[in-house]
Amino acid sequence: MMLFILIPIIVLYTFVPFGNFISIFTNRSFLSTIYVTFLAGLISTVIIGILGIPLGYLMARTNFLGKNFIQGLIDLPLVVPDTVAGLIVFLTFYSNGIIGAPLSRVGINFVNTLYGIVVAMMFVGAPFMINTSKSGFLSVDPKLERVSLSLGASRVSTFFRITLPLSLDSIVNGLVMTWAKGVASFGSIIVIAYFPMVAPTYIYNQFLLFGTGASAMAAGAFLLITLFIFALSRYVTGRLMRWLKR
């Protein structure tokens, strides 16, 4: 399995012109693209976390009419093609869309703006946050919550002092995967926002204009930056979890 993942990555770097590889890290257009990608990914992840964690808790702890239908809606962005997701987002948020029209009248436009990138990332990334937080909450024994309530703690206090800390590992993993899905999105973003370019669009554009060498160089640099962020986030998460378990 590791060879299956590793070999294509090695093949990618065989196409990278290493004599010019360092120069891409000082290329203003590439750095601007990375900035837009990671900023939009961070904004979308924060919003999804604020809205998705409570929904994950609701799905884990309550039963209600239509719950299976709601779960199906949550999972739907996972199975639709990226271009379909992009079209859905575009038709909803463009200047005549049901959400885009009233917002455009107050100066908030989504087509070819950072806002459009954020909502596209949110649409495809939300299931990761909701489902992982749901799994985390399901792993917490409800008896612990009932004991807390029986000792006089409120539901809010029980959630923040018992349920949330015990499910924090899953929630952090969900945040990381949500961010990763957002910054890796291409089809869902390009329909609503070709500009400003995100990293996948930039790499595709380099391939069309300059061929495999330029696109491989951009892709290789993007992989290295992403790998560093993943490694750092896993390290910080591990330290945080060890501190919480003391």
Write out pLDDT tens, residues 136-172.
Answer: 999 999 999 999 999 999 999 999 999 998 998 899 9
Q: What is the mean pLDDT of the chain?
A: 94
Q: Where are the domains of the chain?
A: 33-197
CA distance 201 to 190: 7
| pLDDT number for residue 20 | 84
Residues of the chain with confidence (pLDDT) below 70: 244-246
Fold of the domain built from segment(s) 33-197: MetI-like fold (1.10.3720)
| pLDDT number for residue 233 | 84
| pLDDT number for residue 246 | 67
Among 178, 177, 176, 215, smallest CA distance to 199 is for 215
DSSP characters for 38-83?
A: HHHHHHHHHHHHHHHHHHHHHHHH---TTHHHHHHHHHHHHHS-HH
| pLDDT number for residue 245 | 64
| pLDDT number for residue 243 | 78
